[in-house]
């Protein structure tokens, strides 16, 4: 068994898991954070994207043991009791999600981008979301939502 | 003495203590407790028609919060995880299945084989698909046994320890080859399991009137739906002999009937809970693992979950039919279509699934949205030893569209006519009759084409 202590959404958590456990399984099965989805388990679809030390990663490709002592942000860590994260609000407003399965991963990738680059071009947004597959909506509405959220986060637009 | 007591005050205080009906009533929808409850309330929610209004999805917020519960996000106490042993051989007789080593593994709760299934066949049109292959394997993705264990890993390892002895048979993969019926996928039945023929006018007369005749063969490939959420189900058999299934199935009523048939029990003992589906696109329109999970749950007395791997999505769920399409079209020198002959060969894979529907729609639409007085369309659907094909977005319409529009471009090029003009000349108009004689109303093909051409600058591009 591997002992892991990490920070998840600002809270310190510990678990003892078999060494082959992925970060995704750790989050879903040990901490019941099921917002990160298992879509392919080989790093192709991006439905499991979480932020580790500020960078978006595929949680299915990272071992639980590799995140010991590190900081992880999942989709559950974005909204506060008071309000949704501007990206979540924009995704709702722009109807960017249909079946929703890819949604948490896409929103996390978008957050990873906007944290590093508050004013991305359309190409930069496309590039940031290129690891996230969607089979329903397509990407147009997602890109529009990310642009809108970026405007709100930069203070150029009032939150709806 | 009692005169001193202020009755009115007492009543007041009692009123304060008494809960009203309103206080006791629970909200009809329980709000997610840890997140903001206010929703974006758009005008579209309040008025009809909503066309032109900006609307939001009522489930959109929970999707974005990661709070939507898909099957794999649901857990029950003492739940087991199932895996299936896949054949890995496309055509064979099953000589024996030895599950003893798997059953002896610590953590394995139950193993199920095809012979234990009361009625081991299902399918939305023909019941030609086994829940678990018992006597014969029809394609490499066929499951031959299912295991329920305390973890997915143990179930998977147990599958590897199941020994299956096969007698390989010669497979047939090419649908045109399959038409000859020399190698039969489901003997004694013919490989040609569905046909359709549409005849209109006089084909010979039509070709005689043509100045030019164009012939072409077009083909499309097999396509998997790839829903982001793989197929998933949980079965829970209760001591009353009823079973509850949580399933990513899109058509739960139809699925219920199919499950009742395979389990040989009344439909009222089967309850299906349709959860939010993480993408269907036609691929989740029929049952897959549900009967096997129900029986594993009966054997173990515990809830059993199974989620397809991405690989299983490709090899063991339905796909889009590959088509081979032969088109022969007669046209006058000024571009009017006088006759069209279409022959469609659909690769149906190992099982029928929704092939009949696909075949019908493809055949009806195979002439395209054009006025063609003399037409013959023939379509055949074939069994082959490949992953089964079924419903997928459009039921065969996209395949034939690729063929007839490709040919329209070839005709336009050869006749030196603008491709748009060729379509405008032949396109349906108000009151046109479809190949099956349906008189069409609200026909806007030409307007749509014109508007589209104008919007993307067809003319300016120097076409």
The answer to whether residues B376 and B330 touch, using CB atoms and an 8 Å cutoff, is no
Distances (CA, A) of A123 to A138, A145, A149: 16, 14, 16
The CATH number fitting domain B73-168, selected from 3.40.1400.10, 3.40.50.2000, 3.90.1170.50, 3.90.226.10? 3.90.1170.50
Distances (CA, A) of B364 to B62, B223, B290: 41, 22, 34
pLDDT by residue (tens digit) across B403-454?
Answer: 999 999 999 999 999 999 999 999 999 999 999 999 999 999 999 999 999 9
Cα nearest neighbour of A42 on chain B: B310
Burial bucket for residue A126 (CB in 10 Å: 0-12, 13-18, 19+)? middle
**How far is B225 from B284, CA to CA, in rounded Å?**
9
Cα nearest neighbour of A132 on chain B: B228
**How far is B347 from B361, CA to CA, in rounded Å?**
15
DSSP codes of every residue in B60-83: HHHHHHT----GGG---TT-EEEE
B59, B72, B153: residue with CB nearest A38: B72
Q: Calculate the dihedral angle through the C-alpha atoms of A113, A115, A120, A125, rounding to the nearest 10 degrees.
A: 20
Domain A2-76 superfamily per CATH: Beta-grasp domain (3.10.20.30)
**How far is B372 from B329, CA to CA, in rounded Å?**
10
Q: Domain ranges in chain B?
A: 73-168, 175-221+326-455, 232-316
Q: Which residues pair with B164 in a beta bridge?
A: B97
- Chain B residues whose beta carbon lies within 8 Å of the beta carbon of residue A134: 228
pLDDT by residue (tens digit) across B65-99?
Answer: 999 999 999 999 999 999 999 999 999 999 999 99
**How far is B391 from B8, CA to CA, in rounded Å?**
72
- Chain A residues whose beta carbon lies within 8 Å of the beta carbon of residue B63: 91, 97, 99-100, 103-104
**How far is B262 from B129, CA to CA, in rounded Å?**
11
Query: Is the fold of B175-221+326-455 the same as that of B232-316?
Result: yes
Q: Which residues pair with A29 in a beta bridge?
A: none
Q: Domain ranges in chain A?
A: 2-76, 86-153
The answer to whether residues B218 and B406 touch, using CB atoms and an 8 Å cutoff, is yes
- What is the enclosing helix (H) or strand (E) of B424? helix B419-426
Question: Residue range B31-59: average pLDDT?
Answer: 65
Q: A54-68, B49-63, B180-194, B419-433: lowest mean pLDDT where?
A: B49-63
| Percent of chain B whose pLDDT exceeds 70 | 88
- Chain B residues whose beta carbon lies within 8 Å of the beta carbon of residue A44: 310
pLDDT by residue (tens digit) across B349-386?
Answer: 999 999 999 999 999 999 999 999 999 999 999 999 99
- Residue A138 backbone zone (phi > 0: left; psi -120 to 50: alpha; other: beta): left
**How far is B107 from B195, CA to CA, in rounded Å?**
49
- CB count, 10 Å around CB of B288? 27
- Chain A residues whose beta carbon lies within 8 Å of the beta carbon of residue B67: 35
Cα nearest neighbour of B57 on chain A: A95
- Chain A residues whose beta carbon lies within 8 Å of the beta carbon of residue B279: 99, 101, 135-136
Per-residue confidence (pLDDT) for residue B57, from 0 to 100: 84
Question: Residue range B27-45: average pLDDT?
Answer: 56
Cα nearest neighbour of B73 on chain A: A34
- So what CATH class is A86-153? mainly alpha
The answer to whether residues B256 and B242 touch, using CB atoms and an 8 Å cutoff, is no
The answer to whether residues B294 and B82 touch, using CB atoms and an 8 Å cutoff, is no
pLDDT by residue (tens digit) across B152-208?
Answer: 999 999 999 999 999 999 999 999 999 999 999 999 999 999 999 999 999 999 999
Residue B273: is its pLDDT beyond 70?
Answer: yes
The answer to whether residues B42 and B53 touch, using CB atoms and an 8 Å cutoff, is yes
Q: Calculate the dihedral angle through the C-alpha atoms of A41, A45, A47, A50, rounding to the nearest 10 degrees.
A: 80
Q: Calculate the dihedral angle through the C-alpha atoms of B78, B79, B80, B82, rounding to the nearest 10 degrees.
A: 170
Helix, strand, coil abundance in chain A, percent, nearest 5: 40, 15, 45
Q: Is the dihedral of CA B250, B253, B257, B263 positive or negative?
A: positive
- So what CATH class is B232-316? alpha beta
Per-residue confidence (pLDDT) for residue B20, from 0 to 100: 57
Mean pLDDT of chain B: 91
Among chain A, residues having any CB pair with chain B shorter than 8 Å are 20, 28, 32-42, 44-45, 47, 74-76, 78-79, 81-84, 88-89, 91-93, 95, 97-104, 107, 133-136, 160
Which CATH architecture group holds B175-221+326-455?
Answer: 2-Layer Sandwich (3.30)
């Amino acid at each position: 068994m591997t002992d892991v202590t990490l920070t998840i959404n600002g809270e310190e958590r510990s678990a003892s898991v078999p060494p082959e456990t992925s970060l995704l399984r750790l989050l879903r099965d040990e901490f019941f954070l099921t917002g990160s989805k298992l879509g392919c388990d080989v790093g192709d679809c991006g439905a499991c994207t979480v932020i580790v030390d500020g960078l978006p990663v595929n949680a299915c490709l990272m071992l639980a043991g590799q995140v010991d002592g590190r900081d992880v942000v999942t989709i559950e860590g974005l909204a506060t009791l008071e309000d949704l994260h501007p990206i979540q609000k924009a995704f709702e407003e722009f109807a960017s999600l249909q079946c929703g399965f890819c949604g948490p991963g896409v929103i996390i990738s978008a957050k990873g981008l906007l944290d590093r680059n508050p004013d991305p071009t359309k190409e930069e947004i496309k590039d940031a979301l290129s690891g996230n597959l969607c089979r329903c909506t397509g990407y147009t509405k997602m890109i529009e939502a990310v642009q809108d959220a970026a405007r709100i986060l930069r203070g150029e637009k009032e939150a709806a | 003495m009692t005169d001193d007591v202020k009755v009115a005050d007492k009543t007041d205080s009692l009123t304060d203590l008494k809960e009203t009906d309103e206080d006791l009533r629970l909200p009809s929808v329980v709000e997610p407790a840890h997140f903001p409850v206010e929703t974006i309330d758009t005008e579209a929610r309040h008025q009809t028609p909503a066309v032109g209004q900006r609307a939001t999805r009522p489930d959109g917020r929970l999707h974005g919060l990661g709070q939507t519960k898909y099957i794999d996000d649901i857990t029950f106490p003492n739940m087991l995880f199932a895996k299936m042993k896949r054949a890995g051989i496309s055509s064979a007789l099953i000589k024996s299945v030895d599950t003893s080593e798997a059953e002896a593994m610590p953590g394995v709760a139950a193993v199920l084989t095809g012979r234990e299934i009361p009625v081991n066949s299902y399918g939305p049109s023909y019941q030609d698909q086994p829940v678990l292959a018992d006597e014969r394997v029809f394609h490499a993705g066929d499951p031959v046994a299912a295991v329920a264990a305390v973890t997915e890993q143990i179930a998977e390892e147990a599958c590897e320890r199941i020994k299956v002895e096969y007698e390989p048979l010669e497979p047939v993969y090419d649908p045109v080859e399959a038409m000859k019926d020399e190698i039969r996928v489901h003997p004694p039945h013919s490989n040609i399991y569905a046909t359709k023929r549409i005849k209109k006018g006089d084909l010979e007369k039509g070709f005689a009137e043509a100045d030019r005749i164009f012939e072409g063969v077009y083909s499309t490939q097999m396509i998997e739906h790839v829903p982001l959420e793989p197929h998933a189900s949980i079965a829970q058999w209760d001591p009353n002999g009823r079973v509850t299934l949580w399933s990513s199935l899109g058509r739960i009523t139809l699925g219920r009937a199919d499950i009742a048939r395979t389990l040989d029990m009344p439909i009222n003992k089967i309850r299906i809970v349709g959860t939010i589906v993480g993408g269907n696109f036609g691929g989740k329109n029929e049952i897959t693992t549900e009967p096997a999970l129900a029986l594993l749950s009966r054997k173990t007395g515990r809830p059993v979950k199974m989620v397809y791997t991405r690989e299983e999505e490709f090899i063991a769920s339905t796909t889009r039919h590959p088509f081979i399409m032969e088109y022969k079209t007669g046209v006058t020198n000024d571009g009017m279509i006088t006759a069209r002959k279409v022959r469609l060969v659909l690769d149906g894979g190992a099982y029928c699934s929704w092939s009949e529907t696909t075949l019908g729609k493809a055949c009806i639409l195979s002439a395209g949205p054009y006025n063609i007085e003399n037409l013959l369309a023939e379509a055949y659907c074939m069994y082959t030893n490949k992953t089964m094909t079924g419903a997928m977005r459009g039921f065969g319409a996209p395949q034939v569209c690729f063929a007839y529009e490709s040919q329209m471009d070839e005709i336009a090029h050869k006749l030196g006519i603008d491709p748009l003009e060729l379509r405008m000349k032949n396109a349906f108009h108000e009151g046109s009759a479809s190949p099956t004689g349906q008189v069409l109303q609200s026909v806007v093909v030409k307007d749509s084409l014109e508007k589209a051409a104008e919007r993307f600058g067809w003319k300016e591009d120097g076409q």
